[in-house]
Amino acid sequence: MPRDDGATAINVAYLGPEASFSHQAAIAVFPPRPTSSSSGSSTNSPVTLHPLPTFPNIFSAIQAASSTDDEIQYDYAVVPIENSTNGSVVGVFDLFAQCGLDSSAPYPDIEVCAEYYLPVHHCLFISPDLTSSTSDRGPVPDPVSAIRTLYTHPQVWGQCTRFLSSQFPPAKVERIDVGSTSAAAQLVARESNGGLSAAIGSKLAGEKHKLTCLAENIEDEPGSNTTRFLVVKNRKRKISSDALLSYLSSSPKAKGEVRNKSLITFTISHTKPGALADALAVFKTYSFNLTSIDTRPSRMRNWQYVFFVECEQTADVTDSNDAANFNGDGLKRMLADLERYTESLRYLGTFEDQLLREEGDTT
């Protein structure tokens, strides 16, 4: 979206409302940036973060970014892909199964260009009316025991199992899924008369909606509970901004290395013995290390699965700007060979391994 000062605004989508964990990740990857002035000082493209209500809305917005008809041209989106405690975000995996250079894919132009790891801490929030002497019924002596409904995102239940099982047994407390943790906080804040409900979400979400925090760090793995986010873009959209490159170059590299991951999806024949083993052997042949493998139903026919594979090669490079192109020839040869052993094959992008950066920060 052009500006009067000549700078081009960078539009980034995330799962809203504001104060969600996705919002926090988006701020970390695309922090507020100074804009140019009429005096001719240095120019940085301003970044605008846009909350969207669902993951399909986000993917559709990025896919539509190659069109010139949209009011907002989305450059990037930040989406959660997995949690260290509760595993994969299956709704996002199902959308990635529909991405890739394939005319039959609903999102053929979406590709992954970066990743980010966000430490996640959960809090239990209630309406301040439950603890206020000015409410219609006065303060509730024991707010925790009074709670009958809990709201949060589906991923969170599995991240807080020990706390929930001890404080809120399913037989006494109803658990209701909502679109995001910030939406859960919003629901509790809107309930009149301080209804007997609570939300699980981030401290930021509770503060934004002026809720009362009853407990902090209720996740099963305090200090290590982490959600990994992927940054996606439309491969056809030309983005001149250095916003993402600024994030990629913000941390020191361990021993001058950049390790690049590639995300690939494929399906195989279920009638050929050893089909999966043959496909996976290709990665070893071309010296690609498998860092992650996951599956989701293909939804094309029953009991067929889409395999999601992340793989990487390690080598010395001096410029992080080369990350997306590094080992491109080797990757192309590997994909060409892999195609012989798969029924469908889609390449979803190459991006820099941020775990290596964390190792570099501690050495």
16 and 105 share one domain: yes
pLDDT of residue 257: 66
Place 104 in a pLDDT band, splitting at 50, 70 and 90: confident
In a domain, 220, yes or no: no
pLDDT at 134 over 70: no
Same domain, 261 and 339: yes
pLDDT band at residue 362 under the 50/70/90 scheme: very low
Structure tokens belonging to residue 355:
């775990």
pLDDT at 259 over 70: yes
With respect to residue 114, please indicate whether it lies within any of the assigned structural domains.
yes
Cα–Cα separations (whole angstroms), residue 172 to 42, 147, 149, 154, 305: 59, 9, 9, 19, 38
Note the pLDDT of residue 270.
84
Q: What is the pLDDT of residue 6?
A: 47
**Of the ranges 185-194, 248-257, 312-321, 339-348, the best mean pLDDT one:** 339-348
pLDDT of residue 357: 58
* Domain-embedded: residue 65: yes
- What local confidence, expressed as pLDDT, does residue 32 receive? 78
With tokens 């995001």, the residue in question is 180
- 200 φψ region: left (φ > 0), alpha (ψ -120 to 50), beta (else): beta
> Which has more pLDDT, 3 or 333?
333
Summary mean pLDDT of the chain: 84
Mean pLDDT of 157-166: 94
∠ CA 161-162-164, rounded to 5°:
65
Structural domain ending residue among the three candidates 215, 238, 263: 215
Location of structure tokens 């590997």: 334
Domain residues for the domain of 156 are 123-215
Residue tagged 């399906």 (tokens) = 267
Confidence category of residue 3, pLDDT binned at 50, 70, 90: very low
Least confident stretch, 39-53, 277-291, 307-321: 307-321
For residues 164 and 231, state if they share a domain. no
Q: Are residues 158 and 108 in the same domain?
A: no
List Cβ neighbours of 259 (8 Å cut-off, separation of 6 or more): 312, 313, 314, 352, 353, 356
Q: Which carries the bigger pLDDT value, residue 316 or residue 47? A: 47
Residue 148 has pLDDT above 50, yes or no: yes
Do 257 and 233 have their domain in common? no
Q: What is the CATH number of the domain that holds 20?
A: 3.40.190.10
Please tell me whether residues 267 and 338 are part of one structural domain. yes
288 within domain boundaries: yes
pLDDT at 71 (0 to 100): 78
Is 172 inside a domain boundary? yes
| 22 lies in the same domain as 161 | no
Write the CATH number for 344: 3.30.70.260
Answer whether residue 40 shows pLDDT above 90: no
Q: Which of 200-209, 239-248, 288-297, 349-358 has the lowest mean pLDDT?
A: 239-248
Query: Same domain, yes or no, for 2 and 74?
Result: yes
Predicted local distance difference test score (pLDDT) of residue 135: 53
Task: Taking the CA atoms of 256, 262, 263 and 266 in sequence, report the sign of the dihedral they define.
Answer: negative
- Please check whether residues 110 and 237 belong to one and the same domain: yes
Q: Are residues 47 and 2 in the same domain?
A: yes
Task: Give how many domains the chain has, as a whole number.
Answer: 3
Same domain, residue pair 128 and 110: no
Domain annotation covers residue 110: yes
**Angle between helix 328-338 and 275-285 (nearest 10):** 160
φ, ψ dihedrals at 80, nearest 5°: -75, 140
Per-residue pLDDT, averaged over 156-170, amounts to: 93
The pLDDT value recorded for residue 322 is 43
Q: What is d(CA 117, CA 342) in angstroms, rounded to the nearest whole number? A: 31
Q: In the predicted model, what is the mean pLDDT of residues 178-193?
A: 87
pLDDT digits (tens, 9 = 90+) for 323-355: 444 457 889 999 999 999 999 999 999 999 998
Same domain for 241 and 260? no
Q: Provide CB contacts within 8 A for 55, sequence distance 6+.
A: 15, 79, 91, 92, 95
End-of-domain residue from the set 195, 215, 235 = 215
Does some domain include residue 279?
yes
Average pLDDT over residues 132-144: 63
| DSSP single-letter state for residue 31 | -
| Domain contains 289 | yes
Q: What is the pLDDT of residue 43?
A: 52
d(CA 224, CA 95): 27
